Amino acid sequence: MAEVSALAGRRSEVHISCMTGSAKLATVAACAGDPARASMLQLLMDGRAFTAGELSSAAGVAAQTASGHLFRMVDAGLLTVANQGRHRYYRLSSPLVAQMLEGMMVVAAANVVMTGPGNEAMRKARSCYDHLAGRLGVGIAQRLVDAGHVTLTDQGGEVTSSGTMFFRRIGIDAETTPSHRAFCRPCLDWSERRYHLAGVLGDRIMHFCFDEGWIRQKPKSRVVDITPLGTRKFREVFGLRLDI
Amino acid sequence: MAEVSALAGRRSEVHISCMTGSAKLATVAACAGDPARASMLQLLMDGRAFTAGELSSAAGVAAQTASGHLFRMVDAGLLTVANQGRHRYYRLSSPLVAQMLEGMMVVAAANVVMTGPGNEAMRKARSCYDHLAGRLGVGIAQRLVDAGHVTLTDQGGEVTSSGTMFFRRIGIDAETTPSHRAFCRPCLDWSERRYHLAGVLGDRIMHFCFDEGWIRQKPKSRVVDITPLGTRKFREVFGLRLDI
DNA sequence: GCGACGTTTCGGAAATGGCCGAAGTGTCGG
DNA sequence: CCGACACTTCGGCCATTTCCGAAACGTCGC
């Protein structure tokens, strides 16, 4: 990590650690405050790593421009980079960054009606770092709550005993809980403005849906496509109708 | 876009609602991405309203510069403004904005050691929108957890039955719960990197401490001073030693 | 080794945005 | 009605930043 910033001539002299509180806040915020960088961050929000080239085309800028942006975000601590052959893979440096971005998107979407044809697929279903969001994510969460399998308030979430059985029956592990991470966390959905399911359980549900072939990741995007099988299964298993 | 900002007063014609997702994210983020605006936002984070003049001096810029910044933040939906005589009071437009800022500060403080003489008072005790943060806030939360009065994980918080009795005894209402808001919410403290107590209960605890004269708001700042009475009471009531 | 490719650095043009002096609007107090 | 005050708008200066062409670097496939 240290040698990453050391190798370049583009060293930032003023180390972020000797800044005042508001200056550090501004440095971090300014990273997301540019349209090109914001586009990159949105793509990275699903937690996967992307190459500099993929990010440059996602942002709609030339490769050399993107390179500068990426350096800046690494320098600010938002991104980490891994060299792999002639590619460099960038990813968010921690889930905290994804949560921060989610918080910003909630505010960004708060005052306006989300209309925009380009966003329709995104609003329908997308991945959010390690769990599902959009109407699909909110819908699953809602059905689980309705069925009494989980409780989900803005104070936190919990799996009920009926939920434990339910998840065991369909093949999702809702019992082994790594202690260092929230297991069942509500997460405010910026497009639906209701809670969806995050934490370890949200992670496992999403991966289960991928493994079963119910959803498929759209290339170079956070959008997930719901397969015909998925459409049927979400109705059968969760009682969720997605055609509304 | 160029002529948009040029003509026609200071009204922004291009309404934020017709922006694409990442542009809106960038607009919101850019508000916090300037040192002057970041300073203002930090001051506003305790939820109180401040006049344009107070905010301009907090940011260290001239009144006319601040005016522009404030317009921009109102336009982006981060702030609301209320006219009162010849003053204009600005405040965060919603608790969601405070949460967003808190998330950004967590990331900003994540990679670095918080050292800086100016921040010592802030790290000791401050208000965070409607509850206490800093060593005081974290300490109170820790003592309440240790005593078994509340549980506090990253999934959420809860008041135990012993906690209900405890709060009743010292004079804090921990029973009537407005349904629309989290009652006992954990909130990651950026300076201590541990949880403190937010939500309705955090709100009531802070106001109780103010009313009892245990703490006092430092003028034009989020810093709170702990009075001699408070020092004694925090030890007697919570078993909290603040001189460490 | 060679060329193709992904990525970065350099350099300079252009746009953006912050900042303040000066002037304008609106409110309060006498 | 007047001046004092809080705040905003206007206009221009200046620093920062974004952007891309050109070129360099490192890796991969042949």
Same domain, B85 and B117: no
Last-in-domain residue among B67, B93, B119 = B93
Three-class SS of chain B? CHHHHHCCCCCCCCCHHHCCHHHHHHHHHHHHCCHHHHHHHHHHCCCCCEEHHHHHHHHCCCHHHHHHHHHHHHHCCCEEEEEECCEEEEEECCHHHHHHHHHHHHHHHHCCCCCCHHHHHHHHCEEECCEEEHHHHHHHHHHHHHCCCEEEECCEEEECHHHHHHHHHHCCCCCCCCCCCCCCEEEECCCCCCEEEEHHHHHHHHHHHHHCCCEEECCCCCEEEECHHHHHHHHHHHCCCCCC
Give chain A's domain count. 2
CATH code of residue B74: 1.10.10.10
Note down the domain range covering A156: 98-238
C-beta atoms of A96 and B113 within 8 A: no
All residues of chain B having their beta carbon less than 8 Å from the beta carbon of residue A28 are 104, 107-108
Q: What local confidence, expressed as pLDDT, does residue B3 receive?
A: 36
B64 contact to strand D (CB, 7 A limit): yes
- Check: CB of residue B146 under 8 Å from CB of residue B163: no
Condensed to tens digits (0 to 9), the pLDDT of residues B91-122 reads 999 888 998 999 999 999 876 655 555 577 78
Same domain, A88 and A106: no
Same domain, B60 and B178: no
Same domain, B113 and B127: yes
Return positions of chain D under 7 A from a protein CB: 5-11, 17-23, 26-28
A65 has a chain B CB within 8 A of its CB: no
C-beta atoms of A26 and B37 within 8 A: yes
Last-in-domain residue among B93, B116, B147 = B93
A82 contact to strand C (CB, 7 A limit): no
Which of B104, B189, B190 to mutate to probe the A interface, most A CBs <10 Å? B104
B33 contact to strand D (CB, 7 A limit): no
Q: Cα(A54)–Cα(A148) distance, rounded to whole angstroms?
A: 42
pLDDT block averages, 10 residues each, chain A of length 244: 38 60 88 96 89 94 95 94 87 91 90 59 84 90 89 76 91 78 77 81 91 86 87 89 70
A28 has a chain B CB within 8 A of its CB: yes
Same domain, B230 and B116: yes
Same domain, B47 and B126: no
Same domain, A125 and A212: yes
Q: Is residue B243 in a domain?
A: no
Return positions of chain C under 7 A from a protein CB: 5-11, 15-23, 26-28
User: In angstroms, how far is C27 C1' from B230 CA?
Assistant: 41
A61 contact to strand D (CB, 7 A limit): yes
C-beta atoms of B28 and A97 within 8 A: no
Q: Is residue B219 in a domain?
A: yes
Provide the residue-wise pLDDT of chain B in tens; the chain has 244 residues.
Answer: 333 333 344 555 556 556 777 788 999 999 999 999 999 999 999 888 899 999 999 999 999 999 999 999 999 999 999 888 888 999 999 888 998 999 999 999 876 655 555 577 788 888 888 889 888 998 999 889 888 898 877 667 788 888 899 999 989 888 877 655 677 777 778 777 678 888 888 889 999 999 999 998 887 778 888 988 988 899 888 888 876 5
Same domain, A111 and A219: yes
Q: What local confidence, expressed as pLDDT, does residue B155 receive?
A: 62
A104 has a chain B CB within 8 A of its CB: yes
Q: What local confidence, expressed as pLDDT, does residue A1 receive?
A: 34
User: In angstroms, how far is C5 C1' from A50 CA?
Assistant: 17
Q: Is residue B244 in a domain?
A: no
Same domain, B151 and B174: yes
User: Half-sphere exposure (CA, 13 Å, Cβ side) for B19?
Assistant: 23
Nearest to A99 among B39, B103, B155 (CB): B103
A220 contact to strand C (CB, 7 A limit): no
Strand ranges of the sheet holding B79-84, from the earlier edge strand across to the other edge: B50-51, B87-92, B79-84
Q: Cα(A3)–Cα(A120) distance, rounded to whole angstroms?
A: 42
Q: Is residue A244 in a domain?
A: no
